[in-house]
Structure 1
Amino acid sequence: MREPIGFRCVTAAGIHQVAFRPRDLVIAGLTGRDQAAVQHHVEELRAIGVTPPPSIPAFFRNGTDLLTTASAVEVLGPDSSGEVEFVLVSMADGLWVGVGSDHTDRRVEAYAIDVSKQLCPKVMAPLLWRFADVAPHWDQLVLRAWIEEAGRLTLYQQGTAAALRPPEPLIAAWTGGAPLPEGTVMFGGTFAAIGGIRPSVGFEFELEDPILRRVIRHGYTVRSLPLT
């Protein structure tokens, strides 16, 4: 059984520390609300020889040992990259939301999406907000990511939650209408990369709540192990 992850959970009453032991990790994909754009992306995948997932949205099970709040990760080879996503965490006291990076091996993704997801760490910020506190203005939440290029940070992704499926229907699509089971962590999908998908030695990401005027931000460095 994996070790628990330490999260700081923010409520109106303050911040409390939680030792959370995840039971399941689910990575959601093709979660855009614009279904025409999603279908166009599916056809793009087919055109380059990638077999699209059998369902939209798509869901991939990963091992919970991939979850980490570390500030440095190791991957095999030079062909992986991160992507910012909102993250839903189901605890005994309800649903929480945070932000993470679905780091993925892009070389393997070209022929086996499910395998590519399992090959890399899934990095989360160690701070969570209660979902009920942001649900009334969910669509106004902003996700951003930066990569390190030539020694400086470059904006890599940016968009609002309004472009992605909201948590409730996303969860329902996975569970068949039931709540997210306690102990489950679900990554909620992402946006296109500005300038195209590419690797970097550093990745930073954030979730901004412009209504309550707060931000969750985290980052990590990437060490690429040589292929033999």
Structure 2
Amino acid sequence: MIEPHSSGEVECVLIDSEHGLLIAIGSDHTDRKVESYNVAISKQVCSKPISQDAWLYTDVADHWDALVMRSYRMINGEKELYQEGQTSNLLAIPDLIKKLTQGDQFPKNHAMLCGTQAVLTQISHGDAFYLELHDPILNRTLTHHYTVTTLDMVQ
């Protein structure tokens, strides 16, 4: 059996849409073994699952720093808190857009992962990941979960 070397990272996802900028929750799932020698490729070899539901960014812009991101990992049937922190730990959305575009307009038909929270235990694999973005001001939560499938190495 191939040893799994990947892990999830809870991230807010900024998405351009016909309704305006949206915020979803997703995972920058990464191969940690590949990351040790090539960060760019480690990000490319894993899927980036995101929630089907999203919020209008304008609905949370005035209290962006109050949002709370969480991830849980499932290991051998046990669900444990893996990451937790406020979006105040991230760059503000206007600053991220400025870094990406050198301006203030988010590109049409684009999506961007917006940063993650520190891991509470140690970075390691999970059989599944559960993601949350909680808005304590409007009392609502975006959620998403996914299972991890490790593919065999092709020789």
Q: What is the TM-score normalised by the length of structure 2?
A: 0.95
Q: Could you tell me which residue of structure 2 aligns to residue 58 of structure 1?
A: none
- Which among 8, 28, 45 is matched to residue 102 of structure 1? 28
Q: Could you tell me which residue of structure 2 aligns to residue 185 of structure 1?
A: 111
| Superposed displacement of residue 192, structure 1 | 1.5
- The structure that has the greater radius of gyration is 1
| Superposed displacement of residue 178, structure 1 | 3.2
SS at match of 2:70: strand
Structure 1 counterpart of 2:98, one-letter code:
A
1:73-99 Cα shifts (integer Å, max 9, x gaps): xxx851111110001001233111110
Number of aligned residue pairs: give it.
153
Q: Distance in 2 between matches of 1:200 and 1:174?
A: 31
Q: Could you tell me which residue of structure 2 aligns to residue 175 of structure 1?
A: 101
Q: Distance in 1 between matches of 2:121 and 2:96?
A: 28
| Superposed displacement of residue 200, structure 1 | 0.8
SS at match of 1:225: coil
CA RMSD, 1 decimal: 1.2
Q: Distance in 2 between matches of 1:205 and 1:187?
A: 14
Q: How does 1:61-210 map to 2 (within 5 A)?
A: 78-210=4-136
Q: Distance in 2 between matches of 1:103 and 1:207?
A: 17
Q: Could you tell me which residue of structure 2 aligns to residue 222 of structure 1?
A: 148
Is there any run of 5+ residues in structure 2 with no aligned partner, and where?
none
Contact 2:76 2:127 in 1 (8 A): no
1:145-177 Cα shifts (integer Å, max 9, x gaps): 000123111000000000110111011011001
Is there any run of 5+ residues in structure 1 with no aligned partner, and where?
1-75
Compared with structure 1, are the counterparts of its residues 223 and 173 closer, same or farther at alpha carbon in structure 2 (3 Å cutoff)?
same
Q: Distance in 2 between matches of 1:181 and 1:223?
A: 32
Structure 2 counterpart of 1:96, one-letter code:
L
Which protein is richer in strand relative to its size? Answer: 1
Q: What is the TM-score normalised by the length of structure 1?
A: 0.65
